[in-house]
């Protein structure tokens, strides 16, 4: 003899008699089966995941600020330095007697260009990588902020007000760069 499966199931919470096929109580939504309880956990996890994805779709302000910083740093440090070095080089005088000084005067600006133009290109690539959410860009920007602060310290004796502004900028950007939402956007949390 086989036992008959009951056609109804009583809710343990409110006492309502439900059809046997229901996973949740029709009145109070209490889970009537183990599957219904798992479904509740899944729905809760799915909701948290949707919220997390929505947060990651919004670019934190620190990301935009540091991408702009990288681009401006590329323009105003290496490129401006190279342009200034070429503009300040010696030229041949009207008599043409200082041609050696002019030739040797080109060595310094050329060496600056060989070193600093790739640095400017690297900073431009870092700005792009920061904007496009490359995970390695987070760490690279920490290094760039450290280099910027170090360059500011070297300027402290020559231009103390500018150096203090640069150090303050580096500290402010670093503070926002280490915020949990910025790190999470790069997948580091």
Same domain, 36 and 69: no
Same domain, 109 and 25: no
**In Å, how far are 10, 26, 108, 161 from 17, measured between CA atoms?**
4, 9, 91, 79
The highest-confidence range among 8-22, 127-141, 146-160, by mean pLDDT, is: 127-141
pLDDT of 5 reads: 54
Question: Helix, strand, or coil here: 3?
Answer: coil
pLDDT of 161 reads: 93
Domain that holds residue 74: 58-185
What is the H or E stretch that residue 14 is in?
Answer: none
Q: At which of 56, 76, 96 does a domain end? A: 56
Query: How does residue 38 score in pLDDT terms, banded at 50, 70 and 90?
Result: low
Nearest to 68 by CA among 152, 119, 127, 129: 127
Q: Is residue 95 part of a domain?
A: yes
β strands within 59-128, DSSP E? none
* CB burial string 37-48: b at 16+ within 10 A, e below: eeeeeeeeeeee
Residue 40 in this model has a pLDDT that exceeds 70? no
Strands 17-19 and 8-10: antiparallel
Same domain, 79 and 164: yes
Same domain, 132 and 159: yes
Same domain, 66 and 45: no
pTM of this structure:
0.62
Q: What is the pLDDT of residues 163-178, one digit of tens each?
A: 899 999 999 999 999 9
Same domain, 65 and 148: yes
């Amino acid at each position: 003899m086989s036992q008959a499966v009951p056609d109804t199931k009583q809710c343990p919470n409110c006492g309502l008699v439900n059809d046997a096929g229901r996973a949740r109580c029709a009145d109070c939504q209490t889970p009537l089966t183990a599957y219904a309880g798992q479904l509740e956990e899944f729905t809760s996890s799915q909701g948290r995941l949707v919220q997390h994805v929505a947060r990651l779709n919004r670019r934190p302000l620190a990301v935009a600020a540091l991408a702009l910083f990288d681009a401006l740093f590329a323009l105003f440090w290496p490129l401006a330095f190279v342009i200034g070095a070429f503009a300040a080089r010696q030229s041949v005088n009207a008599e043409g007697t200082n041609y050696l000084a002019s030739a040797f005067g080109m060595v310094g600006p050329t060496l600056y260009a060989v070193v600093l133009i790739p640095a400017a290109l690297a900073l431009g690539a870092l700005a792009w990588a920061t904007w496009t959410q490359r995970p390695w860009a987070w760490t690279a920007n920490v290094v760039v902020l450290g280099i910027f602060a170090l360059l500011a310290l070297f300027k402290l004796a020559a231009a103390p007000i500018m150096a203090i502004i640069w150090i303050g900028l580096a500290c402010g950007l670093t503070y926002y760069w280490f915020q949990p939402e910025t790190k999470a956007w790069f997948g580091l949390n």
